[in-house]
Amino acid sequence: MLYLPCPKCNGELQIRVAKRGPKAGFEFYGCDNFPLCKFTAEKTNVVDLVKKEIFKKQIPTQDSKYWTREHLSKFSKKEIRFLASINDVSFNKQDDTNNIVDELLSLNDFELFEINFSKWCFLYEIRSDFFSGFSITHQSTSKIFSDKTKRYKVLDNKFEIGGEFKITKTKITLSFLDDYKVKNGSGNSVMLILDQDKSTAMAQIINPQVLNEENFKDFLLSI
């Protein structure tokens, strides 16, 4: 659920319907502290408006150097809740800023282990129902990461190219083609079998309870 803090007070923007005037019947956003706060906004571009009004500094993204506890902890509760909302991180009104920062930082968590001398298994939890990939920073010292950028063609079960997986010494990026968007994927994980010799990544969406380091060989038989 999208959290839209009111730029003028500690309230939250809610959808309202104009009851009178030339725009009667049209929906708009109004502060839930009305009539104490009379801030309103049109439905179009409301997210961009809130971004501009709430964030007076650059908004950090998962692939930026500012995606750290030190930097995120400096944001106000209003800012950090809005940042969580636009990154599909759920929270409730009782959660303090530190808890929400923990959840935001966990967006960059992944599992990576070597299968043999040329193949690796990469696992990433899907948080959104409409998953189109990610771009994240990392601090892993695994030997698969180096100063040289490595690109892998993402393959589906029919061995058709569906996107690209790219890794550098500090960043990991997964992008799907437009017709390979993953729908209804929340709660699952995307698994990539990286073949360094062929520069390919076999992609599979799995339940995270299915695969681990002990049973992955049995599971691979079904690909």
User: DSSP string covering 34-60, please?
Assistant: TTT---EEESTTHHHHHHHHH-SSPPP
pLDDT score, position 84: 92
Task: Record the pTM.
Answer: 0.79
130 and 189 fall within a common domain = yes
Domain that holds residue 211: 111-220
Farthest-apart Cα atoms in the chain, separation? 71
125 and 209 fall within a common domain = yes
92 and 154 fall within a common domain = no
132 and 208 fall within a common domain = yes
Structure-model confidence comparison of residues 163 and 205, the more confident one: 163
pLDDT average, residue stretch 40-68: 87
Average pLDDT, the chain: 86
pLDDT score, position 167: 96
Cβ atoms 175, 133 nearer than 8 A: yes
Number of structural domains the chain divides into: 3
Band (pLDDT 50/70/90 cuts) for residue 187 is confident
Band (pLDDT 50/70/90 cuts) for residue 92 is confident
128 and 175 fall within a common domain = yes
